[in-house]
Amino acid sequence: MKAKLFADGRDPVGEIDRRLFGSFIEHLGRAVYGGVYEPGHPTADDMGFRGDVLGMVKELGVPIVRYPGGNFVSGYDWEDGTGPRQLRPRRLDLAWSSIETNEVGIDEFQEWARRSGAEVMLAVNLGTRGVSEARDLIEYCNFPGGTKLSDRRRANGFEKPFGIKYWCLGNEMDGPWQIGAKTAEEYGRLAAETAKVLKAVDPTVELTVCGSSHSGMPTFGKWEETVLEHTYGLVDYISLHSYYGNRNGDTAEYLACSKDMDGFIATVADICDKVKARLGSEKTMKLSFDEWNVWFHSNEQDKKTEKWQVAPPLLEDVYTFEDALVVGCLLITLLRHADRVKMACLAQLVNVIAPIMTETGGRCWAQTIFYPMLHASRFARGESLRAAVECPELEAGKYGSVPALEAAVAFDEASGEATVLAVNRSLSEDMELECGLRGCGGLTLAEHTVLYSGDLKAVNTADAPDAVKPSSLPVAGGAPILPKHSWNVLRYKKTEG
Ligand code: AHR
């Protein structure tokens, strides 16, 4: 099959924000305990953080990590996770029917984030709590000193403020499963009042208000409108969440699910612009896709998990090669909306629906989805260019038909390099891809990296960590060939001479 892609350096969609390659750590399952934190582990550092996991997080280049939830945050008392460890209470975590020991809290997590090179995106509890606790939390985290809570932080050993810039006003507050779920009116008012106090304590913070939990929610659309009418002038981002899965075994349909994400983003952007016009605002609302991933493999297993354990294995999806292709398509979609989507969090980072897996007390390894994330974070720099594609269409079940080629183009003027990230969705045919990159100053294909497996269901495990891993294809001078069902990174550099 033949395909063509055209892009022009003078026709950008928007600047690619590094925070598009963010992630998420929730107090859930083995994400924290046995994931990022395990004092007895052979690689543990002075604070009990696993060095092997830190190394992989650094390799991924994660710029921002959302914390501490997720559903967990809606029942969480942040004070429980601060101060001397021996005084910290064990509590019921009603979101995940587990026991939370509070060994790790914001004191430790902000330090873990610093060591991994990431910023913290901190969520406040607007389920069981509200304005007063959010005010206390930001005073504890960001106020220099000389007040009750800033001095408590200093007494706990953290002289300097944490300087947390990104804050989420609760989590999925439209979801009936959420502790303290609210109507759009109730939440909109509470979010506005919480936003006021957060910005009063620290005017430099940037705030995300909850959009719908997913585009299939019965209140989707109306929820965004109502919430934004209350908060438009006070917040900087509205959140989007979406998870996908190959539930009916139809891979062609599954590989097309980025079409859903694409429509979701476009619809939320339209709603924001409608509210902007109605309110006569000058501000364009940015989008934070702060939970996205594949999540379905572990659903049945999780129903069997015994309640009230400390850090039980939960949401431990073992990702197949085809899941990596889907994650690639979703990353491409985020890049194509780089004008509006300024932050995004792959949910999550370690053990819980995650690119990084660990054995408690043992090894850690990269799941298949690690690689598209790594490539996008490393190479999608500069501006996302509008890309026109000519290629055959494929039948994709409930998504109708989709182009065989899913692609995004990043052009980094500073280095003069361009990167094409591309998935060949065809399950049967290789694709010869002609790339016409104009206005980029004369580029030639210098590297072609591919993630390919003949087995769509291939997985990486502790014993076979490299079953699915990227490899280099020779660059022959002609049009690159994208193998059937593959993820590709085409790196274009300045033509010699
Ligand atoms: O990421 C797992 C869960 O998915 C989060 O806790 C919640 O926000 C979402 O429903």
Let me know if 172 is a catalytic residue. Answer: yes
* Mean pLDDT computed over 451-471: 98
Do 173 and 69 sit in the same domain of this protein?
yes
| pLDDT at site 497 | 60
Q: How much is the pLDDT for 495?
A: 82
Is the minimum distance from the CB of 179 to ligand 1 under 6 angstroms? no
Q: Are residues 264 and 172 in the same domain?
A: yes
Residues 111 and 257 occupy one common structural domain: yes
Same domain, residue pair 37 and 122:
yes
Distance of alpha carbon 93 from alpha carbon 77, whole angstroms: 10
For ligand 1, the distance from its centroid to the CA atom of residue 241, given in whole angstroms, is 9
Ligand 1 contacts CB of residue 26 (under 6 A): yes
Please pick, among 172, 224, 406, 417, the residue that the annotation labels catalytic: 172
Asked if residue 315 and residue 437 are part of one domain, the reply reads no
Is 170 in contact with 73 (CB distance < 8 Å)? yes
**What would the mean pLDDT of 337-366 be, rounded to a whole number?**
98
Task: Tell me: do 452 and 359 sit in the same domain.
Answer: no
Is residue 417 in contact with ligand 1, taking CB distance under 6 Å? Answer: no
pLDDT at 248 over 70: yes
Residues 466 and 490 in one domain: yes
Instruction: Report d(CA 316, CA 411) in Å as an integer.
Output: 36
Residue of 26, 30, 243 with the most ligand 1 atoms within 8 Å of its CB, for mutation = 26
Does ligand 1 lie within 6 Å of residue 171's CB atom? yes
**Ligand 1 nearest-atom number relative to CA 172:** 8
- Nearest atom (ligand 1) to Cα of 26: 6
283-287, 391-395, 477-481: which has the minimum mean pLDDT?
A: 477-481
Q: Which of 41-45, 246-250, 492-496 shows the lowest per-residue confidence on average (mean pLDDT)?
A: 492-496
* Ligand 1 geometric centre to CA of 65 (Å): 14
Per-residue pLDDT, averaged over 185-191, amounts to 98
Name the residue with the closest Cα to ligand 1, atom 2: 70
Active-site residue, from 100, 291, 383, 406? 291
For ligand 1, say whether the CB of 210 is within 6 Å of any of its atoms.
no
Q: Is 262 found in the same domain as 125?
A: yes
Q: Ligand 1: does its nearest atom lie under 6 Å from the Cβ of 119?
A: no
Q: How far is the CA of 70 from the centre of ligand 1 (A)?
A: 5
| Atom 6, ligand 1: residue with shortest CA distance | 70
Judge whether 100 and 69 are in contact, CB under 8 Å.
no
Strands (E) located in 33-94:
64-67, 91-93
Percent of the chain with pLDDT over 70: 100
Phi/psi of residue 110, nearest 5 degrees: -65, -30
Pocket lining: 275 vs ligand 1, CB cutoff 6 Å: no
User: For ligand 1, is residue 368 a contact (CB within 6 Å)?
Assistant: no
Residue 375, C-beta contacts closer than 8 angstroms, at least 6 positions apart: 421, 449, 470, 487, 489
Cβ(82) – ligand 1 distance below 6 Å: no
Residue whose CA is closest, atom 1 of ligand 1?
347
Q: Is the pLDDT of residue 496 over 80?
A: no
Q: 476 pLDDT band (50/70/90 cuts)?
A: confident
pLDDT tens sequence across 427-439? 999 999 999 999 9
Is residue 310 located within the same domain as residue 411? no
Q: How far apart are CA 335 and CA 354, in angstroms?
A: 21
Instruction: Give me the sign of the Cα torsion angle 334, 336, 338, 341.
Output: negative
**Residue where one domain finishes, among candidates 379, 405, 422:** 379
pLDDT in tens, 199-239: 999 999 999 999 999 999 999 999 999 999 999 999 999 99
Residue minimizing CA distance to atom 7 of ligand 1 = 70
Residue 450 alpha carbon to ligand 1 centre in Å:
31
Task: Flag whether pLDDT at 35 surpasses 70.
Answer: yes
Name the H helices within 64-182. 106-116, 131-142, 148-155
For ligand 1, atom 4, which residue shows the shortest CA distance?
Answer: 70
Cβ of residue 172 lying under 6 Å from some atom of ligand 1: yes
Average pLDDT, the chain: 97
pLDDT tens for each residue of 130-157: 999 999 999 999 999 999 999 999 999 9
Fill in the amino acid letter for 228.
Answer: L
The answer to whether the CB of 291 is under 6 A from ligand 1 is yes
The CATH number of residue 24's host domain is: 3.20.20.80
3-state SS assignment for residue 100: strand
Indicate whether 366 and 426 sit together in one domain.
no
pLDDT grade for 25, boundaries at 50, 70 and 90: very high
Is 479 found in the same domain as 356?
Answer: no
| The domain boundary residue, chosen from 321, 356, 379 | 379
End residue of a domain, out of 362, 379, 396: 379
Question: Which residue puts its alpha carbon closest to atom 8 of ligand 1?
Answer: 70
Burial of 245 (0-12, 13-18, 19+ CB in 10 A): middle
Among 327, 395, 310, 383, which residue's Cα sits nearest to residue 7? Answer: 383
Ligand 1: which atom is nearest the Cα of residue 347?
A: 1
Can you give the pLDDT at residue 257? 98
pLDDT above 70 for 444? yes
State the pLDDT at residue 486: 98
Residue 490, domain CATH? 2.60.40.1180
pLDDT value of residue 473? 96
> In the predicted model, is pLDDT for residue 189 greater than 80?
yes
In the chain, % of residues over pLDDT 90: 98
Task: Give the distance (Å) from ligand 1 centre to CA of residue 71.
Answer: 6
Q: Looking at residues 445-450, what average pLDDT do you find?
A: 97
Judgement on whether residues 355 and 462 belong to the same structural domain of the protein: no
pLDDT in tens, 373-405: 999 999 999 999 999 999 999 999 999 999 999
What is the domain count for the chain?
Answer: 2
Residue 51 has a pLDDT of 98
Q: How far apart are CA 57 and CA 51, in angstroms?
A: 10
Q: How many angstroms does the Cα of residue 277 sit away from the middle of ligand 1?
A: 32
* Domain extent at residue 367: 17-379
Of 24, 71, 214, best ligand 1 pocket probe by most atoms within 8 Å of the beta carbon: 71
Mean pLDDT along residues 234-260? 98
Q: What is the mean pLDDT of residues 174-194?
A: 98
The CA-atom distances, in angstroms, between 348 and each of 68, 114, 473 are: 11, 18, 30
Taking the centre of ligand 1 as the mean of its atom positions, its distance from the CA of residue 319, in whole angstroms, is 18
Res 470 pLDDT > 70: yes
